[in-house]
Amino acid sequence: MKTIRKDSVLLFIPALIGVIIIVSVVLLDIQLANFQEAYFREVAEETRRNNYFLVRFCKEQLEIGNLDKLRQLFRSHGPNPVVAKIIARGKGPLVETENTPDYLAEHLRSPQVKGMFRRNQPEDVLVKYDQSLQSFMVYHSIRFQTDGQDYLLLTAAKCNSMTMLMQQTRRSMIMLTILGLLSTAVLIAYFCLLVRSPLNRLFASMSKIAAGELESPIYIPRHGLVREIALCLQSLTEQLKKQIISLRDGANEREAILDAMTEAILLVNSTGRVERCNRTACALFYSGIDPTASGAPECPAELRELIRHTDGPGIRTEEFRVRHGDKELQLLANAVSFTRNGDRYVLVSVTDLSEIRKLEAYRTEFIAAISHEMKTPLTGIIGAVDAINNGAIDHPEYKERCVQTLTLQSERLHALLQNFLTLNSLENMRRGTEKDFLPIQPQAIVRSALEVCRPAAEAAGIKLLSGECCNLEIPGDSLLLQQALNNLIINAVLHSGTDRIEVSATVTPDHQLDFAIRDYGCGIAPEHLERIFKRFYRIPNRHTRQSGNGIGLAIVKHIARYHGGSVSVVSRPGEGACFHLLIPCSM
């Protein structure tokens, strides 16, 4: 209904034009009537004046009895037909106009006209439109007396020119009225069909677009001014769509950038509510659920004190710890305040320093481990060199012992450095693919590992046994896999205290190749099972023959990951241990 009331004003213009035309015609008709009345008043006065002189002339001629001259006078008439009669009381008509048109003569003899002059008045003038003649008539009667005889002069004149003028004027007025009404109807039809209806449909289309339905089609008429308006609106709508798409893409880009950031970003308003936060912040403070989807949540309790004191220019920084699940995180928060639309906001970025702190701890541990591991061979080498410098070279027995010490400790230092380099190289390697590998046979890998490790095992009094080995080919790096088996076997030789070690290679139900290294020694306590594959980790207080450097099992773990597999251990104290190196049979 509101739409109808709004666009109905368009119909007011043609309706107003129609009203103006009708009022103008009415006013013109009133003016015409006034003109007609004034004109015939003048005609009546002029008729009186003319007939006054005519009566004087008739009196003169009647006094002398010259009726012929009167007949001659009544015979002439102007452009308007005139009927005149002189009637003597008691005698009848004396003189009357000759050659009078029949329709006018009959009209004068009609009872209706005769009745107009039967009143006993000295003079009477009447102007009347006669329907039978379709013309205005001027009737005049005047009574006079001559020589004691009463006479009556009757005249009737037809106003042809005035009748024609009035008829033409009224026909023009009727035509003007009809044309005005037709014009009004045409204008109303034009506004209804070509303006009002298209505007309504265009308004309906734009209402949908204003409501957010940007893909809704815009109604475009085939012609008319509304078509030009619709085309302009369509162009504006297309530009609006492009701008909205650009803004949406920009917003999505900013959202993607925020979500890709490793720092947690939170936008906190003046009421302490979080209006925006990225994915990292959701995972860190809201258990991975976006809290802004259902409204503005409260700011995390860990940041409230920082935000409360962030009220001036500059960045405020604070470092604190947060318990996240079963982990304790070290966080660094930076907060800056700003004003938008008169409201105060605080933008907080939170960086997780846990990995950095862990890396720093690893670096410290790594340096300490290298220092510790290199200290023993370097001490032996330095001692042997000092002994040689102090004259041990002159004693064959001391010389031989110094050379043995230099050889043994140099080999130990070389092996240690080689392990460090191998571990560093494996940590930087991406997972391999089939094109990086060649077909290998598990039997050959197990056989080579046993041959390499057998001297060390026999020196320790341990038997190396080969278990079940499957006969198939898989893609892999034979050198790395052999090194992994070597490390696992040497680890059992050095730390298990067993009398025998079994090595096998079988296929699991889930199509993985399982290299199993089993010993029957002292076993491993449960608290160490999840940590023994970390670098530099060594089980303390072990009653074993030798101590390692904590790198061998870490190398095994990275070799397994490089092949897309894993390494695990199953053990109980006093029951030995079984290490499983699992490699997918197909990449």
- Residue range 173-213, pLDDT digits in tens: 888 888 878 887 887 777 777 777 787 888 888 888 888 77
pLDDT attached to residue 80? 56
**Position 1 pLDDT exceeds 50:** no
CB 279, CB 361: distance < 8 Å: no
**Position 391 pLDDT exceeds 50:** yes
pLDDT attached to residue 34? 86
**Position 21 pLDDT exceeds 70:** yes
Q: What is the pLDDT of residues 287-343, one digit of tens each?
A: 767 776 677 788 888 888 888 888 767 788 888 887 777 777 888 888 888 888 888
Q: What is the pLDDT of residues 68-103, one digit of tens each?
A: 887 777 765 555 567 777 878 777 778 877 766 666
CA 52 to chain centre: 98
Quickly state the pLDDT bin for 476 (edges 50, 70, 90): confident
CB atoms within 10 A of CB 557: 20
**Position 251 pLDDT exceeds 80:** yes
CA 386, 389, 394, 399 dihedral sign is positive
Lookup result for tokens 């928060």 = 333
DSSP code of 119? S
pLDDT attached to residue 39? 81
Domains of the chain with bracketed CATH: 9-168 (3.30.450), 266-350 (3.30.450), 357-426 (1.10.287.130), 429-584 (3.30.565.10)
**Position 116 pLDDT exceeds 60:** no
Q: What is the mean pLDDT of residues 562-581?
A: 89
For all residues of the chain together, what is the average pLDDT? Answer: 79
In angstroms, rounded to a whole number, what is the distance separating the alpha carbons of residues 252 and 282? 18
Quickly state the pLDDT bin for 3 (edges 50, 70, 90): very low
Q: Which of 12-16, 379-383, 467-471 has the lowest mean pLDDT?
A: 12-16
Q: Which of 55-64, 320-329, 541-550, 553-562 has the lowest mean pLDDT?
A: 541-550
**Position 417 pLDDT exceeds 50:** yes
Helix (H) or strand (E) holding 286: none
DSSP code of 195? I
- C-alpha R_g of the chain: 64
Q: What is the pLDDT of residues 508-532, one digit of tens each?
A: 888 889 999 999 888 888 888 777 8
Q: Which of 15-24, 339-348, 497-506 has the lowest mean pLDDT?
A: 15-24
pLDDT attached to residue 517? 92
Helix (H) or strand (E) holding 342: none
Dihedral of the alpha carbons of 72, 77, 83, 86, in degrees to the nearest 10: -30
Three-point CA angle 465, 470, 475, nearest 5°: 115
Helical axes 67-75 vs 9-64, angle rounded to 10° = 160
pLDDT attached to residue 516? 92
Please state, for a pLDDT cut of 90, what percent of the chain lies above it. Answer: 4
pLDDT attached to residue 7? 56
Three-point CA angle 518, 522, 527, nearest 5°: 95
pLDDT attached to residue 428? 67
Q: What is the pLDDT of residues 142-181, one digit of tens each?
A: 888 888 888 888 788 777 777 777 778 888 888 888 887 8
CA 544 to chain centre: 71
H-only helix segments in 351-441 = 354-389, 396-427
**Phi, psi values for residue 488, rounded to 5°:** -65, -40
User: How are beta strands 463-469 and 500-507 bridged, if at all?
Assistant: parallel
The most distant pair of C-alpha atoms in the chain lies apart, rounded to whole Å, by 206
**Phi, psi values for residue 339, rounded to 5°:** -115, 135
CB 188, CB 15: distance < 8 Å: yes
HSE at residue 271, side-chain half, CA atoms within 13 A, is 6
